């Protein structure tokens, strides 16, 4: 419940930031109404198109049981165990090792893995990764993260448009009822940064929950812990060329981002996730299934 509340607060903050920017930049009740409308449209758009956008961003290709029998059956087995409809299965044509889930609900979900992750992970570790992604579907994290990405993208786009208008003299200094100069300046300088920080905060709150539920689903926390360590090491050598807006969907940071610090990381530190999984291992029976 704590993570759910934190996520709700962060999402509200992100939408509120979008509304506030419109109010500051456009000015008056008109700006406020435009901001509310923009927030509503972006949330509605991401609700219906989140899976298509994310899959297209990574050029993911659908696969059938005939094309990828081992992967397909693993997703099917874990979906049955979790009592959810089996999501569509995709493979991303990349040697970078990663995975993600997307979709607005359990009935419209997809799981995608890269070619690279299929090559480097043994079966038990890949099972932990797939269970992690199914957990994001169960918890509706896929929708939450897609909404966050879309709203953050709208904020950055709005700030960019304001920046262009300033460069080309589109603002009016004489309209006292129009744009707030301080609001314009803050929008250009701080809004994209604030949106990114909030979006990444939403992502980090969901990863620990997904790790824990994945461990319970497979009964093997240590396998997921090993997978995370292996994936982090691989990301340093062969990073995935990721769309920054959709990096939070991935199971692990596509590049090593330690120098940026936790504030700008889309995921908690891998060592913290591993420690939480090993602690959970002590609380679970040796084998659930």
pLDDT digits (tens, 9 = 90+) for 181-219: 665 666 666 666 666 666 666 666 688 889 999 999 999
pLDDT of res. 172: 46
Pick the residue with more confidence: 256 or 239? 239
Distance separating alpha carbons of residues 217 and 206, to the nearest angstrom: 17
pLDDT at 261: 47
Instruction: Give me the mean pLDDT over the 14-29 stretch.
Output: 65
Higher local confidence (pLDDT), 289 or 39: 39
User: How are beta strands 88-92 and 99-103 bridged, if at all?
Assistant: unpaired
What is the mean predicted confidence (pLDDT) over 263-281?
83
CA–CA dist 3, 134 (Å, integer): 18
Instruction: Give the pLDDT score at 182.
Output: 61
Distance in angstroms (rounded) separating the CA atoms of residues 14 and 3: 16
**Residue 231, burial from CB neighbour count under 10 angstroms (0-12, 13-18, 19+):** buried
Flag whether pLDDT at 99 surpasses 50: yes
Strands 99-103 and 109-114, sheet pairing? antiparallel
The answer on whether 136 is annotated among ligand-binding residues is yes
Say what the pLDDT of residue 1 is. 44
**What is the mean predicted confidence (pLDDT) over 118-144?**
92
Share the mean pLDDT of the chain: 78
Q: Exactly one of 125, 127, 133, 232 is catalytic; which is it?
A: 133
pLDDT above 80 (res 75): yes
107 is catalytic: no
In this model, does residue 166 exceed pLDDT 70?
A: no
Q: Is 207 annotated among the ligand-binding residues?
A: yes
Confidence of residue 66 (pLDDT cuts 50, 70, 90): very high
**Strand ranges (DSSP E) for the chain?**
61-62, 88-92, 99-103, 109-114
pTM equals: 0.73
Quick one: pLDDT at residue 180?
Answer: 55
- Is the pLDDT reported for residue 289 higher than 50? no
Helix (H) or strand (E) holding 224: helix 221-237
Sign of the C-alpha dihedral computed for residues 104, 109, 113 and 118 taken in this order: positive
pLDDT of 15: 67
Q: Residues of the chain with pLDDT > 70: what percent?
A: 55
Top-confidence range, 33-47, 131-145, 160-174, 250-264: 131-145
Residue 67 CB coordination number (10 Å): 12
**pLDDT at 162 > cutoff 80:** no
107 known ligand binder:
no
Using the predicted structure, report yes or no on whether residue 130 has a pLDDT greater than 80.
yes
Q: Work out the average pLDDT over 2-18.
A: 61
């Amino acid at each position: 419940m704590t993570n759910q509340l934190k996520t709700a607060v962060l999402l509200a903050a992100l939408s509120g930031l979008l509304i506030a920017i419109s109010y500051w930049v456009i000015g008056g009740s008109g700006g406020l109404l435009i901001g509310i409308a923009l927030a509503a449209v972006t949330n509605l758009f991401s609700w219906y198109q989140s899976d298509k956008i994310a899959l297209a961003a990574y050029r993911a290709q659908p696969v059938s049981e005939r094309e990828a029998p081992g992967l397909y059956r693993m997703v099917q087995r874990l979906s049955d165990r979790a009592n959810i409809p089996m999501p569509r299965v995709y493979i991303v044509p990349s040697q970078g090792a990663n995975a993600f889930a997307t979709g607005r609900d359990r009935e419209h979900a997809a799981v995608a893995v890269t070619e690279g992750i299929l090559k480097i992970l043994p079966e038990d570790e890949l099972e932990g990764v797939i269970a992690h992604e199914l957990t994001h579907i169960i918890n509706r994290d896929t929708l939450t993260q897609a909404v966050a990405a879309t709203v953050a993208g709208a904020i950055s786009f709005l700030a960019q448009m304001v920046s262009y208008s300033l460069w080309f003299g589109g603002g009016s200094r004489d309209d006292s009822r129009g744009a707030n100069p301080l609001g314009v300046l803050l929008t250009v300088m701080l809004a994209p940064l604030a949106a990114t920080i909030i979006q990444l905060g939403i992502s980090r709150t969901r990863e620990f929950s997904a790790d824990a539920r994945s461990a319970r689903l497979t009964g093997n926390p240590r396998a997921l812990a090993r997978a995370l360590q292996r994936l982090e090491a691989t990301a340093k050598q062969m990073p995935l060329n990721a769309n920054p807006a959709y990096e939070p969907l991935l199971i692990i940071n596509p590049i090593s981002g330690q120098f940026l610090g936790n504030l700008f990381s889309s995921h908690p530190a891998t060592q913290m996730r591993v420690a939480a999984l090993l602690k959970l291992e002590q609380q679970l029976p040796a084998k659930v299934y």
